[in-house]
Amino acid sequence: SDFHALTSRQESDSWTFDVRSDDPQRTVRLSWSGPVNVLAHSRLIDTANGTEIKPVQDGVYDFVMKGNRRSFSWEFNARGSKK
């Protein structure tokens, strides 16, 4: 689990996190929930393949590890998505 708090004055933030597995072919599911206004201004990037996921409430992203470590970036921009 990964929790990243934002202060009420923050307009943007980004952070990276890794998923690790002892099985390089394991199927993994990321899931999230949170305030709708935060999710609406966020995006999740799978850095292995550049896939951009627009988070929705109680959303999920399934992927095959294809190695022992996979990196992701979560980006938040209160003024709208960066892309």
DSSP characters for the chain? -------TT--EEEEEEEEE-S-TT-EEEEE----HHHHTTEEEEETTTTEEE---TT-EEEEE-SSSEEEEEEEEETTS---
pTM: 0.81
Confidence band, pLDDT 50/70/90 cuts, at residue 10: confident
Average pLDDT score, the chain:
89
23-48 pLDDT, tens digit each: 999 999 999 998 898 899 999 999 99
